[in-house]
Structure 1
Amino acid sequence: MADWETVTILRKKPPKASAMKSEQAINAARRQGVAVDTQSKWGAATNKQHVTTKNTAKLDRETEELKHEKVSLDLGRLIQQGRQSRGWSQKELATKVNEKPQVINDYEAGRGIPNQVVIGKIEKAIGLKLRGKDRGKPVVPPGTKK
């Protein structure tokens, strides 16, 4: 009778991606002579949605000649009237347009720096035109005739 030897092979699970990114794992791979490719991502882990187009350094040094452009009080009143006609608070409007309540407060008070993306979202939410020659008139949904 022959003795059969049983051989068990222990298979290791491949390391997780997060473990491969650690400095310890990279150093171990380098010691083994494995080619290591490292990349650094520019602007990673930041939530940058709004791009500033003006020279912010100059604007930070506000002077008499160079000031931040502000939203007009007329626009602020239109936003306030549209919001109140819907029965919304500033916080509710801010939630609907995915902005902070302070942004809505600044726009209504005429202190906000105009951002066409934000103004467009507010227009859609309150249903009033805030830009152009038909300011204060209801927004006509696309595809319908006047």
Structure 2
Amino acid sequence: MAEADWSEVTYIGKRQQKSGTLKTPQELNAAQRKGLEIETSKKFTGGQNKQHSASKNTAKLDRETEELHHDKLGLDIAKLIQQGRQAKGWTQKDLATKVNEKQNVINEYEAGKAIPNQQILGKLERVLGMKLRGKDKGQPLVKP
């Protein structure tokens, strides 16, 4: 049996330091004393726990996003939906069931808070029997 060489030491899980990188202040001071050239560079947002840095154009973005908004349903159409539903003697839940939507959707449409969806408006037109889009809103829907 060969005898193991006990003078050799193996470190597991310890990496050798890259040459040229000085991490501790002691290493930096030792290099300065030896007269070696030292290059320092500051990393952008170095040492901060930030994923994204604040942009210089934040105010500009805020102004742009305030101008962008979704068009809401007009109150004239909201009133037409409400009048058509009441003329048939239905509750909001009844109308929602007939157009296969939630009662909350009908509530938003009647309050004028909803963003108009053409498919839902088409369903409401068919069920209520009146036009909700185009020039002659409120007129009876003529089936082709």
Q: State the TM bucket, normalised to the shorter chain.
A: 0.5 to 0.7
Post-superposition Cα deviations, 1:11-53, rounded to whole Å, max 9, x if no partner, equal xxxxxxxxxxxxxxxxxxxxxxxxxxxxxxxxxxxxxxxxxxx
Question: Which stretches of structure 1, 4 residues or more, deviate above 2 A after TM superposition?
Answer: none
Instruction: Give 1:59-70 correspondences, 5 Å limit.
Output: 63-70=65-72
Gapped regions of structure 2 (runs ≥ 5): 1-63
Partner of 1:47: none
Instruction: Give the drift of 1:72.
Output: 0.6
Question: Distance in 2 between the 1:129 and 1:78 partners?
Answer: 9
Q: Determine helix, strand or coil for the equivalent of 1:75.
A: helix
Partner of 1:96: 98
Q: Determine helix, strand or coil for the equivalent of 2:127.
A: helix
- Percentage of matched positions with identical amino acids: 65
Please report the TM-score for the alignment, with normalisation by the length of structure 1.
0.54
Gapped regions of structure 1 (runs ≥ 5): 1-61
Please report the TM-score for the alignment, with normalisation by the length of structure 2.
0.54
Partner of 1:82: 84
Q: Determine helix, strand or coil for the equivalent of 1:64.
A: helix
Question: Distance in 2 between the 1:93 and 1:110 partners?
Answer: 16
Instruction: Give the drift of 1:63.
Output: 4.0
* Structure 1 vs Structure 2 CA RMSD: 1.3
Instruction: Give the drift of 1:108.
Output: 0.5
Question: Distance in 1 between the 2:129 and 2:116 partners?
Answer: 19
The residue type paired with residue 115 of structure 2 is I
The residue type paired with residue 111 of structure 1 is K
Question: Distance in 1 between the 2:75 and 2:85 partners?
Answer: 15
Q: 2:135 aligns with which of 124, 129, 133?
A: 133
Question: Distance in 1 between the 2:134 and 2:70 partners?
Answer: 21
Instruction: Give the drift of 1:68.
Output: 1.8
Q: Determine helix, strand or coil for the equivalent of 2:73.
A: coil
Q: 2:117 aligns with which of 90, 98, 115?
A: 115
Instruction: Give the drift of 1:64.
Output: 2.6
Aligned residues: 81
Question: Distance in 1 between the 2:65 and 2:83 partners?
Answer: 33
Instruction: Give the drift of 1:67.
Output: 1.2
